[in-house]
Structure 1
Amino acid sequence: MSGTNHLRLIQGIFSRPNKVVALQRIDLSRNADPVQSLQARLERIDRAIGETSRALIQAHAVSVRSMFSGSSDFLGGIQKKVVESSARNSVSWHQSRLQEMTQERRQLQNQLDRLTGQVWPKRLRRWLLWAGIGAAIIVASTVFVMGVFTAIYLLPIWGTLLLVLFFSQRKR
C-alpha cells in the first residue's frame, strides 16, 4: 500500500500541471456585456484597493504614533500596549485583505485580457521590460567591475606619483 503512495508522490512531483488556456476572441460590437461587466468589477476592486491602502497607511500611522507616545504611568502603559496590539492586528488584516484584492484584480485583468485579445501584447511588453532591466543590470555591473579593475591597475601609477609628491614635499 505504501508503495503506491510513494509512486503517486513521485508522479505528483515530476508531472506538469495541465494549464492549457485558450484565448477567446469576441466581437466587441455585438456582445460587449462581459467586457463591460469585467471593467466595472475592475473599477470597484481598484476603488476598494485604494480605500484599503489608505486604511493601511492610517493603521501604520497609529502604530508609529503609539510607539513614540511617552506615557510613563501604569494606565498609560496599558493603554499604549492595547493601542499597539490593535494597530498591529489592523495592519495585518489590511495587508492580507490587500493581497487578496490584488490577486482577485490580477485574475479579473487576465480574464479581460483574454476576452479582448491583449494577452500576448502585454506578455511581450512584460518580457521586453524584464529584458531591459536585465540588460541595464548587466551593463551597470560590467561598468562597475571594469572600474574596479581599472582602479587596481592604476594603483602602482598613483602610488608612484604620491611617493614622488611626498619626497618632493619633504625636501623643501
Structure 2
Amino acid sequence: MAAVSHLKNKRDAKLREGIERMLARCGSAGGPIPVQGYMDVLAGHGLQLDDKETARVTRMAQNKMKKRMSDDDGFMDRNEFIEYAKKSHAVKEWLDAEKSKNIDKAELAFKAIDKDGSGFIDVSELSKLGGGKMDKSKQEALMNKLDKDGDGKITLEEFRLLFK
C-alpha cells in the first residue's frame, strides 16, 4: 500500500513541476496567472481549451458572487489555477508535448552514443565520438563535466543536462 502511495505522490509532484514550468511561460513570477498568457502558451503548441474547459474558465472568471478564479484584470489565482490545471486536458496535452520535445533530442543522441545499450555512456563509448579522434585528456574532461555523481558512467539524466 505504501508503494502505491509513493507512486501517487511522485506522479503528483511531477505534474505540479510541469504546471510550474507552464506558469513560468505564462508570465507568472510566483503571483497571479495572466489569463491571456495561459491561452498564448497553449496556442504555442496548437492547443486550445475545449468547450467544457472554456466554459469553466469563463464561469470562474465572471462569477462575482462566489470565490472566483480570475479577477477583473484578467489574472487567475495561482493556487486555484494549479488545482484546475491538474484536471485540465489542455494542460496535460501541453505537458505531454513538452516532455516529448525534450526527450526526443536528448534520448536520440544518448542512444546513438550508448552503442552497447547498457543505459549509460562510459569512457570507451566517449572515445568513439568524433570518429575516435578525441584524445584522452578531452575524454576525461568531458567525462568529468557530464558525470555528476563521479561513478564513471553518464546516465541519460546526466546527459540530458546538455539539452537544458
Same fold (TM over 0.5): no
TM-score by length of 1: 0.26
Larger RCO (CA under 8 A, 6+ residues apart): 1
Whose radius of gyration is greater, 1 or 2?
1
Q: Which has the higher strand share?
A: 2
